[in-house]
Amino acid sequence: MYLLRIPRNASWVVRKVLEAREQLRIRSHSHGTISQQMQSIQLGGKFSIHKMYISLLPNHPKVAWKYLTMHPRIHPRHRFILWLAIQQRLATVERLLKVGINVTPECAFCGLHMETFTHLFFECRITTNIWRRVLQWLGHNKQPMRWEDEVHWMSQIAKKKGGTAEITSCAFAMVIYKLWQARNNARFQRKTFQPELLIKDMVIHLHVRGRNNATWRRRPQEIFNYPH
């Protein structure tokens, strides 16, 4: 039975049974003896389909930033770029050079340092200044930190309920998205980067969304002032 290959012409039911066998075989290497496995799917000495289901779920490691990248309030377009950024998969100069694509190495914002991921987020004085202004605007009394620390801090915020936490999560995703978009425009279309325009766009976006959201509307009025 264990050696039986899944025949191509087998019916759907037979294939599912044989695939389940494969899953159980893989589990047997990591989940102890057969009797230990049987105990893990029993409740009061009886087979429990619920426990069986739980035991077969893939055991992916939990990542701290999961709540942030799955935040329901963050716009899907911003969430996708944030998800790429968190996994450091954005095609920065550093990555392009590694695969043999030659581009101007300097940062498109400051022009002083090589564009690496950590420089863009947020070692560059221009990008860090934007994020600092947004943080202060939202009432967070902190300075921008290293990327990993910032993502960790944001992941804790994303788990919280309430207007400030939701707006901060959306603002963070939007800053990443807008900076990446501005970097592409400056680098590939020679468009001049205008930090004020980026912040204005973000504020308008949050205002418009806040109007239709009772939780956001309850925020003190100062949150909807313009960032200094």
Name which of 109 and 177 has its Cβ closer to Zn ion: 109
63 or 114, CB closer to Zn ion? Answer: 114
> Measured from the CB atom, is 35 or 192 closer to Zn ion?
192
Of 109 and 137, nearer to Zn ion (C-beta) is 109
Token readout for 109 is 């914002």
CB of 129 to Zn ion, least distance (A): 11
Q: Which stretch binds Zn ion (CB under 5 A): 39-47, 53-61, 101-109, 177-185?
A: 101-109
Among 24, 97, 110, 145, binds Zn ion (CB under 5 A): 110
What's the min distance (Å) between Cβ of 20 and Zn ion? 53
β partners of residue 47: 42
Site residues (CB under 5 A) for Zn ion, limited to 34-93: none
Binding residues for Zn ion, rule CB under 5 A, total: 4
> Can residue 107 be called a binding residue for Zn ion (CB under 5 A)?
yes
Q: Which stretch binds Zn ion (CB under 5 A): 15-23, 57-65, 79-87, 108-116?
A: 108-116
Q: Which range of residues in 7-15, 63-71, 103-111, 217-225 is near Zn ion by CB under 5 A?
A: 103-111
C-alpha 160 chain-centroid distance: 16
Q: Contact region for Zn ion (CB under 5 A) — 76-84, 99-107, 157-165, 189-197?
A: 99-107
**Residues within window 112-131 making contact with Zn ion, judged by CB under 5 A:** 124
Q: Which of 79, 109, 158, 199 binds Zn ion (CB under 5 A)?
A: 109
DSSP letter at 120 equals: I
92 CB-side CA count, 13 A:
22
In terms of CB distance, is 103 or 110 closer to Zn ion? 110
Q: 23 is written with which tokens?
A: 């899953």
User: Which residues in this chain contact Zn ion in the complex, by CB under 5 A?
Assistant: 107, 109-110, 124
